[in-house]
Structure 1
């Protein structure tokens, strides 16, 4: 697989089952190198075949009306130098779509009312009545709230995300909520009279959510829960309870999301005991995902459906609020990515991938799943991508550590290899499709990747490394590297590289400031110094305090500096490639500049690649040409320092 082969992938995402389960909508996206964009359109599986029902190129988020007769979706039109225009569209299969409205404030998470008379959605729009002026055309940006910006969205300080309603007959959307802090999710009550929604509780303590209930007609708006973190919500069929994927920060931001029930009659919150010490979200990394509006928890027939992350896999489970739980889809070596459950049957449409095959659409009827699409088959036959070998290492304290080795196909003799470190840290590697890994393996460079402590997919205790960044996680990664060279004799210990992005970039920086065992390194969208990251990242002031178990830096300067690779920068001898997006608001570009400047002053070989117009998600959703250039830079750097693999 070459860097340019990115354009040969088809991304299948966001399935939406029709109410009776006989049909499904889904999104098909393709990277277009010539236009330097992703072309996405809505497709329909009609029970026999599948075909496009919209022309794109910016269509996403399909949703069936309750009677199954009409489709709603979001269309985004982008023109050079102009704000993107977003429409919520309606269409009947076989007819041309028509816009309900068009505006420049975006839209996401569209959801039909139970009666089918209106559609709710989320959008960022200023609360004031005056004309809104694009940030690039203002003489000054006057900011009074945190955060000024958010990764992937740019400046947001005066356009909070709220719930809007639009009639299914069209017209101007009506703002339902008017909060200065963001709404992140919502769900209609079964009778359509109310909407339960999740909103940021406090500006400074931005990790806290609140659960609220608003009457759609009267606007009466009450708080149900506060100081929680909620990843998803769904109503019980009788309308008496709300199911929540949530936690109360028992282990700070390292906490697992668990199933809870909020009783609207009594106001009682109950944790549903499932006997699963796993996070009830899909946290497996992949660089081959299309746009998705899939809800993380869905209700149907008295059951609640949700993902379970386990050892590099993502499974689909279901449970009742009384605590009955059972697996629905539990593949040994795959990721159940997006899913949609039909309302009047047990039919589930889902996308499934593994580490050598991008996602395709499947359907589950009864107990057997069936693959429905084959978009990537021709490319896979041509590319003949290898599967990874799963292995285990044992830490000094006996903890077992999962890792995988992706070896070049038909490699002869010893090969160079890279230890790749995932971000988060509370995400995981495993059976998600990683473009960069296959580009490296196709060039003869093996890739070793695994889940040190701090990763998701294991117990909550395993995930919780607050206050211990750069300690047990570093030791686990070195254990994985040692065990990889012992188990896989093809790996040349003298030609090893190390790389990672976000938290993985932090760990790459930590690795090269604490060992010289790697011949070359690449750090992507990374943090190197926490003292300044605290006040310049879009989440830094609360995330850094939580993960370092520290107070603000003026009260805990020593903790911030002790945890920062920059403190140990004089130990670096490893040649380093720094990759960073200029509009990365999660790990600001100042982090890359500090690292680059320090290594230049110290006389260490270093190269800095900056990517205009890209953000923290460059390797996952950056513009196609930029992603290809990134892959070429990575490949040239590693081949130049580790040698040819074949």
Structure 2
């Protein structure tokens, strides 16, 4: 896979199963490098054997399809003439779609009422005179923003205090007619993840609305009628929750949540579970459904977080387990059953009926496919698509090899190596995931594929702090970033470097977000690596608290009692020891790890005459590598390969004339021996 081949790497959205079980709708999204944009198309997948998938809509920006409960209609999101995503509806059998909404900043998350007469959705409502609502007022001419709360911006969006995400409802009009939507709760609060109760009289949603909650991270579960009446909060602020779903009898709401510490800002744990709140009870501590630490759901603050569903009388959800996002059936007794083979990593799912039996439509990825759709009925799983067929014809996908290393304290470190092929010896790249409470998986990963194609063995592991290995694993680095996780990373890369066919003396390190932070931290503690690439890192933990959109979650008291701890975990505290040539990559509009994080680190390395460069991507946010402009993603890959060509050249990635880093000095890193073992890391 070459950098420009990202066109072939697609992703699938959450599927929607038709009420009669005959078809599944799913969004397939992929970059287009030549147009420098992304294509998002809705596909219809028949569930009967032998029928191939086909395009359902003909737009290139269509997404979020949802069958109506009566099977007559499909709601979805499509841009209007100004590129703003609006709610559209069309007949399920096909035909022309008509636009229902005209919101100045678009809509998201359409949800049908059980009787198929109404649709709830979310829309950003800007303050008058902002964000182009008044053509005469440019962005730099808007009035000043008054901020009085810690959460006032969001990566990928910008300021949030002057554009609230509000829950709306509309009555489905006659075909082709305009709709007349209304705001359910017309106030200054945001709402997220709306869902209807079984009889359509209530909506549940997640929001931070309690008095004083603007200084807390806790998100409560609420219910109200579609007209906003009868509003009540079901939870008491002791648990932060999201992705609510009513039980089949409508008496309770199950949601994804995590308990909070006494300050109601920081999480008490990192393993999100399922909780229950009774609909008729106000502000009561919710009940755990899943035992503490028994499951590991994606945090509801993440874009790809999933909630629970009920195929029949079973409770089903996705839980991370050793690098796989499993689909789990959970019983009242606490027993778990993984419904799919572990070769599948779950991306999205929905429950319904197929062939008269409870069914699950699931989007999955594998070691050779970025996305397929499977149907799970009566204990059996059937693949319905082969979207990756063209991919395998175009690219040679390299499958990962599972590795378990041993840290200096005897702890097992689980991960994979993606080999480049050929006899070697191959230089090794340690690629560290973000988070830290995230994970590498065995599914197709564009970064590993590109670097392996260029002749590098790519080491991917889940050190302590990662998702999917239980509470002891995920909580091991609380207030101790750069301790046992550093041990795990170094132990893993040493084991990979010692494998047959590897060049033990030629090892590089790279990563983004938490991975960038650990890259910056480790090169301040060891000269093991020939070179480093630190991307979107937090190099100053104190700076992070005040400049990140989620910095308040890290510690609301960055000065005083917490200062020493934050300084100790900051790469800037060890910058005087760095000699490793380092490429720093950052997006100009990153609000998760601010651009200042890159600037201070670059200035410090430059002052010490460490070979370094700062690569800046205009207009991009924290998610450049996943959803950035395709041409920027390709350019980033080329810079990464050019950097490795300078310090770890291979036959397939040689140092060529015109390489922007060709004149860079080699630096003082020792690359021809294993200079530092994992147990020698200085904390």
Instruction: Flag whether TM exceeds 0.5 (same fold).
Output: yes
- The answer on whether the counterparts of 1:282 and 1:308 sit within 8 Å (CA) in structure 2 is no
- The answer on whether the counterparts of 1:205 and 1:542 sit within 8 Å (CA) in structure 2 is no
Q: Which moved more, 1:635-644 or 1:496-505?
A: 635-644
- The answer on whether the counterparts of 1:584 and 1:614 sit within 8 Å (CA) in structure 2 is yes
Runs of at least 5 residues in structure 1 that lack an aligned partner in the other structure: 286-290, 546-550
Shift in alpha-carbon separation, 1:360–1:591, aligned structure 2, 3 A: same
Q: Which moved more, 1:566-575 or 1:171-180?
A: 171-180
Shift in alpha-carbon separation, 1:490–1:233, aligned structure 2, 3 A: same
Shift in alpha-carbon separation, 1:453–1:151, aligned structure 2, 3 A: same
Matches within 5 A, 1:134-145: 136-145=139-148
Post-superposition offset of 1:395 = 2.3
Matches within 5 A, 1:9-408: 9-47=9-47, 48-77=51-80, 84-92=83-91, 93-126=93-126, 132-133=133-134, 136-145=139-148, 146-169=150-173, 170-201=178-209, 204-217=214-227, 219-227=229-237, 228-249=239-260, 252=267, 254-265=269-280, 269-273=286-290, 277-281=294-298, 295-320=306-331, 322-323=332-333, 325-342=335-352, 345-408=357-420
Rounded to whole Å, the distance in 1 between the matches of 2:133 and 2:310 is 39
Normalised TM-score (structure 1)? 0.92
- The answer on whether the counterparts of 1:505 and 1:523 sit within 8 Å (CA) in structure 2 is yes
Shift in alpha-carbon separation, 1:274–1:542, aligned structure 2, 3 A: closer
Q: Which moved more, 1:227-236 or 1:432-441?
A: 227-236
Normalised TM-score (structure 2)? 0.87
Shift in alpha-carbon separation, 1:217–1:129, aligned structure 2, 3 A: farther
Deviation per residue, 1:325-365 (Å, 9 max, x gap):
44252323331221121157422111221233211122222
Partner residue in 1 for 2:598: 592
Q: 1:468 aligns with which of 464, 471, 480?
A: 480
Deviation per residue, 1:170-189 (Å, 9 max, x gap):
42320002342322222111
Deviation per residue, 1:292-325 (Å, 9 max, x gap):
7x842122322222001000001101235x3354
Rounded to whole Å, the distance in 2 between the matches of 1:90 and 1:334 is 32
Post-superposition offset of 1:101 = 1.7
Rounded to whole Å, the distance in 1 between the matches of 2:623 and 2:508 is 23
SS in 1 for 2:236: strand
Post-superposition offset of 1:226 = 2.8
Rounded to whole Å, the distance in 1 between the matches of 2:626 and 2:338 is 28
Deviation per residue, 1:225-267 (Å, 9 max, x gap):
1322113221111111111221212682642111222223466
Deviation per residue, 1:395-419 (Å, 9 max, x gap):
233322101110002x223111100
Post-superposition offset of 1:559 = 2.2
Rounded to whole Å, the distance in 2 between the matches of 1:396 and 1:596 is 32
Runs of at least 5 residues in structure 2 that lack an aligned partner in the other structure: 653-683
Post-superposition offset of 1:147 = 3.2
Q: 1:442 aligns with which of 453, 471, 479?
A: 453
Q: Find out whether 1:565 has 2:567 as its counterpart.
A: no
Shift in alpha-carbon separation, 1:638–1:391, aligned structure 2, 3 A: same
Partner residue in 2 for 1:288: none
Q: 2:430 aligns with which of 406, 409, 419?
A: 419
Rounded to whole Å, the distance in 2 between the matches of 1:91 and 1:463 is 45
Shift in alpha-carbon separation, 1:369–1:135, aligned structure 2, 3 A: farther
Rounded to whole Å, the distance in 2 between the matches of 1:19 and 1:359 is 23
Q: Which moved more, 1:178-187 or 1:166-175?
A: 178-187
SS in 1 for 2:598: helix
- The answer on whether the counterparts of 1:235 and 1:299 sit within 8 Å (CA) in structure 2 is no
- The answer on whether the counterparts of 2:357 and 2:378 sit within 8 Å (CA) in structure 1 is no
- The answer on whether the counterparts of 1:254 and 1:466 sit within 8 Å (CA) in structure 2 is no
Post-superposition offset of 1:213 = 1.3
Rounded to whole Å, the distance in 1 between the matches of 2:333 and 2:194 is 24
- The answer on whether the counterparts of 2:32 and 2:630 sit within 8 Å (CA) in structure 1 is yes
More strand by share: 1
Deviation per residue, 1:431-486 (Å, 9 max, x gap):
23211110000010110010110000011121012110011111111111122223
Partner residue in 1 for 2:658: none
Higher relative contact order (Cα pairs below 8 Å, separated by 6+ residues): 1
Rounded to whole Å, the distance in 2 between the matches of 1:540 and 1:270 is 29
SS in 1 for 2:491: helix
Q: Find out whether 1:625 has 2:631 as its counterpart.
A: yes
Rounded to whole Å, the distance in 2 between the matches of 1:281 and 1:541 is 20
Deviation per residue, 1:469-516 (Å, 9 max, x gap):
011111111111122223x22221211000010011100000111111
Rounded to whole Å, the distance in 1 between the matches of 2:473 and 2:460 is 17
Rounded to whole Å, the distance in 1 between the matches of 2:457 and 2:192 is 40
